[in-house]
Amino acid sequence: MKKIVILISGRGSNMEALLAANLPCTIAAVISNRADAEGLGIARNHGIPTAVVAHKDFADRETFDAALAKTLDVYQADIVVLAGFMRILTARFVNRYRGKLINIHPSLLPAYPGTHTHARALQDGVKIHGCTVHFVTPDLDHGPIIIQAAIPVLQDDTEQILAERLLYQEHRIYQQAVRWLCQGQIELDHNNYVRFRFPKQAGYSLISPGLE
């Protein structure tokens, strides 16, 4: 059974959803760059080992990433899951875990990389918004896409309301992506393309606002 390690910086709602998902793998540890991250207590309540690698204890990103990798390797992680981990990782770290390192982002990438995705979507007046699970590469928020979920943007949506509605979809697709990886149903090939080992699903359309 494959081992996953989850990296967090705060409460880790996606982490909590993964802990409750009965995944076909072992959650070997939850690691945070902040000792006060609320998610560490949640993980311990689930009987999951925890560790802290505090970025403030290191002079630069390279030495922090080296210490983080050393801690990850103690747990022999087959998959590293970023769940609200608020650090930009160096290319050396990312390449070390190529094909094993995944992240979830609150937009339909490649649209709206970076922060404040919901506010930017509302400002631009988009009618469909969403979230993306992707493999992590040195190019921030532009790694090969595993799965996406889309929701309509409603007339009275605020940034907070939109974020709350989308979070439910984040929990759904992150569980699915991790399950596929644990079962060996997807892989990242040498061309940085996500390969699926199961038949493609039938397509459907999401139109917003709906047609009359």
Backbone φ and ψ of 40, nearest 5° = -65, -40
142 is catalytic: no
Q: Show the tokens assigned to 108.
A: 């339909």
Residues 6+ apart with CB under 8 A from 67: 53, 58
Pairing relationship of beta strands 50-52 and 26-32 according to DSSP bridges: parallel
Residues 6+ apart with CB under 8 A from 91: 138
* Angstrom distance (rounded) from CA 104 to CA 177: 10
Annotated catalytic residue within 105, 118, 129, 171? 105
Peptide bond just before 209 cis, omega within 30 deg: yes
Active centre residues (catalytic): 105
